[in-house]
């Protein structure tokens, strides 16, 4: 972006420097906020983006569960997708998981073709296969996993009933091109599911450049709902549903940025809650606050369903 918003063509309202705080490289990156759509974007898209996605970025945090653990996950996930099962409901209340819960309401049969764009190591695709889904594919430009196709969405052919971008659209240099490619691959009654960080939100107001979901320089565009709607409209898509699904991460992650603790450092709550600087009661309070913010549309991330207009 030299002078205009890459999303809506609007003028720059203000500029600011955002530190890289996932690894703590010590770099800062210039971002701008658009006066029109209110979206945030990195001013210059780095030429060497791959450098900011080391192998550890997509490493599996823990091995795939087996035995009872796997059954527990399956009960929980079945509830998340189909609203079915008392055990799953109890498990979900204890271990909520917005990524798979986002599929609720799409009334998916196991035969539906599901494409996960920017799937990382393919965890979600594997869990859908575990639920009995028959046509699931994961694709990611940086991943190095056996059952994940390497590339962006243009590397995939075929027609899909659900195309998911779970915290992926903010990483691509041209979100309009990604939505356009998704539209070309979407079944007539299909749904595109976008989960993403969003502005405006309470933590952006409260923490500013310490907001953890700026994730400079990986997040190239942090869209507003208006910005997403603008891009979707250009390729013939309309917003069908919106649900905020922010978590306590928005608070502990942003607090850590303020304290100078990189997300992937030994003292990070993400790496080891027991070694972190936060008490469990504090994190629970942030989880409650996040649920309240979601209800009033002020959480820092959102789930949007797009369909053909």
**CB nearer to Zn ion: pick between 41 and 294:** 41
Which segments of 188-279 does DSSP mark as H helices, in order? 202-207, 225-234, 249-259
**Binding residue (CB under 5 A) for Zn ion from 1, 10, 79, 169:** 10
The region of 30-38, 203-211, 253-261, 276-284 touching Zn ion under the rule CB under 5 A is: 30-38
Q: Please state, in angstroms and rounded to a whole number, the distance separating the CA atoms of residues 196 and 92.
A: 21
Paired with 244 in beta bridges are 302
**Binding residue (CB under 5 A) for Zn ion from 18, 32, 33, 36:** 36
Exposure letters 14-37 (e unless 16+ CB within 10 A, then b): eeeebbbbbebeeeebebbbbebb
Q: Please state, in angstroms and rounded to a whole number, the distance separating the CA atoms of residues 265 and 240.
A: 39
**Binding residue (CB under 5 A) for Zn ion from 1, 18, 32, 37:** 37
Q: Is 8 in the site for Zn ion (CB under 5 A)?
A: yes
The region of 9-17, 71-79, 99-107, 232-240 touching Zn ion under the rule CB under 5 A is: 9-17
**Binding residue (CB under 5 A) for Zn ion from 18, 32, 34, 306:** 34
The region of 25-33, 37-45, 129-137, 231-239 touching Zn ion under the rule CB under 5 A is: 37-45
Paired with 237 in beta bridges are 308
Tell me how far the alpha carbon of residue 277 is from its chain's centroid.
25
Q: Please state, in angstroms and rounded to a whole number, the distance separating the CA atoms of residues 100 and 193.
A: 11
Q: Is 175 in the site for Zn ion (CB under 5 A)?
A: no
**CB nearer to Zn ion: pick between 162 and 231:** 231
Q: Is 212 in the site for Zn ion (CB under 5 A)?
A: no
* Nearest distance, CB of residue 42 and Zn ion, angstroms: 14
Picking from 201, 209, 212, the residue whose alpha carbon sits closest to that of residue 289 is 201
* Nearest distance, CB of residue 233 and Zn ion, angstroms: 14
Residue 55 CA neighbour count, 13 Å, CB half: 2
**CB nearer to Zn ion: pick between 10 and 262:** 10
Which segments of the chain does DSSP mark as H helices, in order? 67-82, 86-94, 98-101, 123-130, 175-184, 202-207, 225-234, 249-259, 280-295
What is the signed CA dihedral for 18, 142, 247, 257, rounded to 10 degrees?
A: -30
**CB nearer to Zn ion: pick between 36 and 262:** 36
Q: Is 5 in the site for Zn ion (CB under 5 A)?
A: yes
Q: Is 220 in the site for Zn ion (CB under 5 A)?
A: no
Measured between its terminal Cα atoms, the distance across the chain in Å is 29
The region of 2-10, 23-31, 42-50, 255-263 touching Zn ion under the rule CB under 5 A is: 2-10
* Nearest distance, CB of residue 205 and Zn ion, angstroms: 18
Q: Please state, in angstroms and rounded to a whole number, the distance separating the CA atoms of residues 19 and 28.
A: 4
The region of 27-35, 124-132, 154-162, 274-282 touching Zn ion under the rule CB under 5 A is: 27-35
Q: Using CB under 5 A, count the residues that bind Zn ion.
A: 7
Backbone angles phi, psi at 32, to 5 degrees: -130, 150
**CB nearer to Zn ion: pick between 102 and 199:** 199
**CB nearer to Zn ion: pick between 36 and 197:** 36
Interface residues with Zn ion (CB under 5 A) are 5, 7-8, 10, 34, 36-37
């Amino acid at each position: 972006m030299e002078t205009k918003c890459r999303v809506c063509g609007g003028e720059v309202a203000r500029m600011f420097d955002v530190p890289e705080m996932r690894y703590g490289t010590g770099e800062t990156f210039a971002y701008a906020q658009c006066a029109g759509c209110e979206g945030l974007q990195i001013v210059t898209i780095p030429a060497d983006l791959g450098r900011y996605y080391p192998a550890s970025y997509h490493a599996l945090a823990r091995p795939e569960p087996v035995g009872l653990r796997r059954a527990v996950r399956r009960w929980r996930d079945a509830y998340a997708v189909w609203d079915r099962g008392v055990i799953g409901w109890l498990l979900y209340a204890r271990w909520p998981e917005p990524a798979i819960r986002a599929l609720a309401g799409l009334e998916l049969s196991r035969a539906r073709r599901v494409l996960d764009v920017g799937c990382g190591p393919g965890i979600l695709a594997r869990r859908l296969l575990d639920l009995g889904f028959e046509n699931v594919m994961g694709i990611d430009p940086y991943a190095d996993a056996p059952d994940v196709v390497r590339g962006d969405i243009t590397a995939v052919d075929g027609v899909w009933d659900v195309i998911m971008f779970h915290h992926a659209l903010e990483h691509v240099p041209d979100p309009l091109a990604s939505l356009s490619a998704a539209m070309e691959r979407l079944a007539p009654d299909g749904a595109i599911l976008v989960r993403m960080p969003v502005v405006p939100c309470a933590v952006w107001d409260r923490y500013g450049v310490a907001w953890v979901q700026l994730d400079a320089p990986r997040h190239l565009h942090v869209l507003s709902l208006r910005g997403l709607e603008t891009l979707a409209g250009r390729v013939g898509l309309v917003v069908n549903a919106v649900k905020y699904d922010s978590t306590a991460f928005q608070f502990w992650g942003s607090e850590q940025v303020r304290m100078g603790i990189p997300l992937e450092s030994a003292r990070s709550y993400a790496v080891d809650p027991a070694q972190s600087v936060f008490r469990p009661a504090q994190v629970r309070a942030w989880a409650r606050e996040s649920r309240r913010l979601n209800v009033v549309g002020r959480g820092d991330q959102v789930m949007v369903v797009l369909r053909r207009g």
